[in-house]
Amino acid sequence: MLLVASDHAGFALKEALKVDLAARGIAYRDLGTGSADSVDYPDYAHQLAAAIERGEAARGLLVCGSGQGMAMTANRHPGVRAALAWSEESARLSRQHNDANVLALAGRLLSPQDAKRILSVWLDTPFEGGRHERRVGKIERS
């Protein structure tokens, strides 16, 4: 199952991506927000990242205006590796090399079509492991 969440600036794109996820048969749980009314992005990023941290899901999708705020907030949680992707290649590399388990997208900067392609690549790309596994292991601070 994929967790999804957005703030008001990412709401419309999140809704478009949910349609695409359903069409692909990918189960998801929407953690909010439920409208385009103004909210604080950290509230939703923390909720999703905490659920990943607790093991409720392996992966998540966050959408805000730029994607940056959501990624920065989510990355404060142990075990969360949120990647801001702006292209199919950045999404692919975030999975192959960094084992990103949360994807952050920019609701104000990406078209729904581009975001769908980026999400699709991110969902379909496996972690390569090997030399990257050692590097990913060095991300967490004790």
Based on its alpha-carbon atoms, the radius of gyration of the chain, rounded to whole angstroms, reads 14
CA dist., res. 47 & res. 43, Å (int): 6
CA dist., res. 52 & res. 75, Å (int): 11
Question: In the annotation, is 64 catalytic?
Answer: yes
Active-site residue (options: 8, 46, 64, 77): 64
Closest by CA position to 41, among listed 16, 89, 74, 18: 74
The pLDDT tens digits of the residues spanning 82-91 come to: 999 999 999 9
Backbone dihedral angles phi then psi of residue 29, each to the nearest 5 degrees: -125, 120
Question: In the annotation, is 46 catalytic?
Answer: no
CA dist., res. 37 & res. 76, Å (int): 25
CA dist., res. 96 & res. 125, Å (int): 7
Question: What pLDDT, on the 0 to 100 scale, is given for residue 106?
Answer: 98
Task: Classify 92 as helix, strand or coil.
Answer: helix
- Mind listing the pLDDT tens digit of every residue in the chain (142 residues)? 999 999 999 999 999 999 999 999 999 999 999 999 999 999 999 999 999 999 999 999 999 999 999 999 999 999 999 999 999 999 999 999 999 999 999 999 999 999 999 999 999 999 999 999 999 999 987 6
Q: What architecture does CATH give domain 2-137?
A: 3-Layer(aba) Sandwich (3.40)
> Which sequence spans correspond to the domains of the chain?
2-137
Active-site residue (options: 8, 46, 77, 97): 97
Question: What pLDDT, on the 0 to 100 scale, is given for residue 142?
Answer: 61
